[in-house]
Amino acid sequence: MDTLKALMVFMTTAENGSFSDAARKLGVSPAAVSQSIARLEQELEVRLFNRTTRQLTLTEDGRRFYSQCRGPVNNLDSAINQLKASRDEPAGHLRISLPNAFGRRFILPLMEEFCSRYPKIRVFFGMGDHFSDLIEDGYDVGVRVGMMPDSRMVARHLAHIPQYVVAAPEYWEAHGKPHIPEDLSSHDCINFQFPTSGRLYKWEFERDGERIPLEVGGTYTANDVDGVRELARLGLGVAQLPGHEILNDVRTGKLQVVLTDFVSMERSIYICFPHRDHIAPRTRVFVDFVVEKLLDHPDIIAELPGVDLSQKREELRQTIL
């Protein structure tokens, strides 16, 4: 590879923000610029640019490399060697997107051990219940609760999560308990609204192996999972929540579960990251660490007393092996 030529193409592309603008400045085709960048990334074994249909932006490694290479040309070898050396010991800034409740309960308590293992990694957490676009928002890795992430993501499965219908004991005492999902039409159900889209979460059940989505209505809607759970604890209605969100409240008697014969486990928890090529070492070790610690964690699986989901869980597991 002609290193000086590749460096010129890289710096021109970084400064102009697109392959086409860099190509015009260099007097070559956009395809030639793209191919030169791809060869440089392959040589360095890192990804220098995040590419989407709308924009081209430098990755964390790309920004560091660009800054280093702005100096005299005789510093070029040093810059390349430093970038290659980062493959051997994970280092740099790691940006992690986390859902609020799950992140606080399961990810944040792991970070002391993670950063002790990898002291050169610096971590930023983007906490929120909206689905951030990892690529466009510049995240290295994200945890997703729900359905399979989009096809641009590489996803590692952590667990299938049961969805339980719960309310406070005083609510059930006042209104009676439903026997089938359709009975919920006569109950005050607490809806969850997705913060970004404004779409209401559709309740899910399973009957005779068939998934049953159900629209429910009621007095209260919240765009925060903790808010939904708190309304249920206060006796103000019925909620459907992931098992790990209500496990402690069920154990302490603040919430009681119903419709256990219709529990759905279609939703899962994933840790995901963009790109299959040139995964940064800091991203790779974080993903492996989380899988090591949380794969089928009993509190995430949240199989409550008297509820046997083992057969259903094994059937679902076979679909992802």
Residue 277's domain comprises: 92-160+267-318
For residue 216, the model assigns a pLDDT of 93
Together in a domain, 12 and 31: yes
- The pLDDT confidence band at residue 8, using thresholds 50, 70 and 90, is confident
170 and 257 inside one domain: yes
CATH code for the domain of 71: 1.10.10.10
Please report, for the domain that includes residue 211, its CATH number.
3.40.190.290
| pLDDT given at position 287 | 94
Report pLDDT for 151.
67
| Residue predicted with more confidence, 34 or 101 | 34
Give the pLDDT score at 82.
60
Query: Which pLDDT belongs to residue 274?
Result: 83
Q: Is the pLDDT of residue 81 over 60?
A: no
Lowest mean pLDDT among 15-29, 50-64, 82-96, 124-138: 82-96
Query: 49, 84, 119: which is the final residue of a domain?
Result: 84
| Structure confidence at residue 5 (pLDDT) | 84
Q: What is the DSSP string of 6-73?
A: HHHHHHHHHHHSSHHHHHHHHTS-HHHHHHHHHHHHHHHTS--EEE-SS-EEE-HHHHHHHHHHTS-G
Same domain, 168 and 154: no
What pLDDT is stored for residue 276 in this prediction? 63
- How many structural domains compose the chain? 3
Predicted pLDDT of residue 73: 44
Q: Are 153 and 282 found together in one domain?
A: yes
* 258 and 188, same domain (yes or no): yes
> Would you tell me the crossing angle of helices 76-85 and 30-44 to the nearest 10 degrees?
60
Q: How far is CA 37 from CA 12, 18, 70, 135, 240, in A?
A: 11, 12, 17, 18, 49
Arithmetic mean of pLDDT over the chain: 85
